[in-house]
Amino acid sequence: MTEAAELPPVPEEAREVFGERFADAVRYAELLAEAGVQRGLIGPREVPRLWERHLLNCAVLSEAVPEGVTVCDVGSGAGLPGIPLALVRDDLNITLLEPLLRRTNFLTEVVELLGLDHVTVVRGRAEEVLGKLPPVHVVTARAVAPLDRLATWGIPLLRPYGEMLALKGDTAEEELKAAATALSKLGAVETSILHVGEGVVDPLSTVVRVEVGESPGGVRFAAKRAKAARTGRARRRR
């Protein structure tokens, strides 16, 4: 079994960012450093930088998320960015979407332990739940895949005029340029790069925002969604 690494001191910025949920954020950090490492969800080398690189880096994504919307965190993994986002924004209705059982088990335990009533854990791949989950206003993701591939999974889950927010690193601009054609085919109408977390994280967190029009995923996915919806209605009538 992997030894759990020691957590660093909690940065002062965390108290301000997480507010009333600060104690829950500390507990989540402890769970990541213990069960998260032991179950292979994060590497032990990540523990010393859990706060700055992971929890705070993800929590500041809230600056880009509108109020009171539905969110699907695609490939949620150990809950990043979905759980930090949930801790700072109880106005959001968040779905943590993750295909691997050991990860969804961990996510379910965290959600129950922290009392995150506005968070739902769903096991599955984005392409498998298309038409089964209600379309959302916002899709989030972090370190899941290159932007062009991530878009094929995330954008079809959006409702018309929704947006995908992907936490990226130094390659954000290059990925956005490389994905331009694919994004256009998927119904994207506007893209931008945001930098969030002023006064909280250094360097700032980089977010690629992809806004869609009335047909998220393009014509192909619109037809697929419609077919899945018809199948669902037929099943309910039985």
Helix (H, G, I), strand (E, B) or coil at 15: helix
> Whole-angstrom Cα distance, residue 146 to residue 176?
9
Is residue 7 part of an annotated ligand binding site?
Answer: no
Is 127 assigned a ligand-binding role in the annotation? yes
Q: Is the dihedral of CA 142, 145, 146, 147 positive or negative?
A: negative
CA 203 – CA 46 distance, rounded (Å): 17
Spatial CA neighbour of 5 closest among 59, 56, 42: 42
Tell me: is residue 75 an annotated ligand-binding position: yes
Does residue 98 contact residue 120 with C-beta atoms inside 8 Å?
no
The answer to the question of whether 113 is labelled as a binding residue is no
Q: Are strands 93-98 and 70-74 parallel, antiparallel or unpaired?
A: parallel
Is 115 within any annotated ligand binding site? no
* H/E segment holding residue 209: strand 205-212
Which residues have C-beta within 8 Å of that of residue 151, sequence separation ≥ 6? 164, 179, 182, 183, 186, 188, 210
97: exposed, middle or buried (Cβ count in 10 Å: 0-12, 13-18, 19+): buried
Which residues are part of a known binding site?
75, 80, 126-127, 142
Which residues are part of a known binding site for S-adenosyl-L-methionine?
75, 80, 126-127, 142
